Amino acid sequence: MSETTPIPAELIARLRQAQRVTVLTGAGISAESGVPTFRQAQTGLWARYDPQQLATPQAFRRQPQLVWDWYAWRRTLVAAAEPNPGHFALAEMERRAPHFTLITQNVDSLHHRAGSRAVLELHGNIARTKCSREGQVVETWPETDERPPRCPHCGAFLRPDVVWFGEALPADALDAAIAAARAAEVFLSVGTSGLVHPAAGLPLLAGEHGASTVEINPEATPLSDEMTYCLRGPAGVVLPALVAAVWP
């Protein structure tokens, strides 16, 4: 097991007293469930592709079958994964903190499956499919050999209901995330590289509005120097230890 930073007593006291706690998660929280992070090298068939190049509307326009197949492969990885102690600790935190908001950049539903109830999904959900032309979510479509399949209403290609680079985030979720960052007394940034905006701006916004900010990540990120506390270690170890220390 990797080394983890001891939890400062001051942070334990601050969390215990806090009325409003907000958490932002990224791919790192699902790493211990066996879901590769976004910027981790890909394996197998997909090793030669760069996720940053595939997760764009341009890639889908140029190579719709390739992008559809990549998401189909990732959907099977996610479906086989189970929530880990980091996900469960956040579900427990939701039950303990008086006002708690969980914001995730992940598309894997593992927070819901761990029992978190109110999750703001900033980048969509890989389990959903939508029309690439009109944007409405589609539940079923005629089975053919064609990939991507076609929208049963307008005949355009179907695509995963996720947010690609250059696309707008769902406005309701983003507005609620900004409000929760502004209102937070403690803001945790867990398992995110802090490279992708607007999500990466949320911990900074919280800090500007007076929150104690905490990064939980085995590695330093561009956000680290701005944080009140950095707890180095895997989320699946640090988060359960934090919950046990604050709410024994």
Applying CB under 6 A, the residues found at the interface with ligand BJW are 26-29, 31-32, 37-39, 55, 105, 107, 123, 162-168, 191-193, 195-198, 217-219, 221, 234-236
Residue number, 20 or 90, with CB nearest to ligand BJW: 90
DSSP state of 137: B
* Distance of closest approach, residue 157 Cβ to ligand BJW, in angstroms: 17
Residue number, 20 or 22, with CB nearest to ligand BJW: 22
* Distance of closest approach, residue 77 Cβ to ligand BJW, in angstroms: 11
Residue number, 55 or 120, with CB nearest to ligand BJW: 55
Residue number, 15 or 235, with CB nearest to ligand BJW: 235
Residues 26 and 217 sit within 8 Å (Cβ to Cβ): no
- Tell me the CA distances in angstroms from 183 to 145, 150, 192, one per residue in order: 50, 43, 21
* Distance of closest approach, residue 72 Cβ to ligand BJW, in angstroms: 12
The tokens describing 63, both together, are 């190579």
Burial class (CB in 10 A: 0-12, 13-18, 19+), 151: buried
Catalytic residues: 123
* Distance of closest approach, residue 193 Cβ to ligand BJW, in angstroms: 3
Residues 137 and 160 sit within 8 Å (Cβ to Cβ): no
Number of Cβ atoms within 10 Å of the Cβ of 216: 28
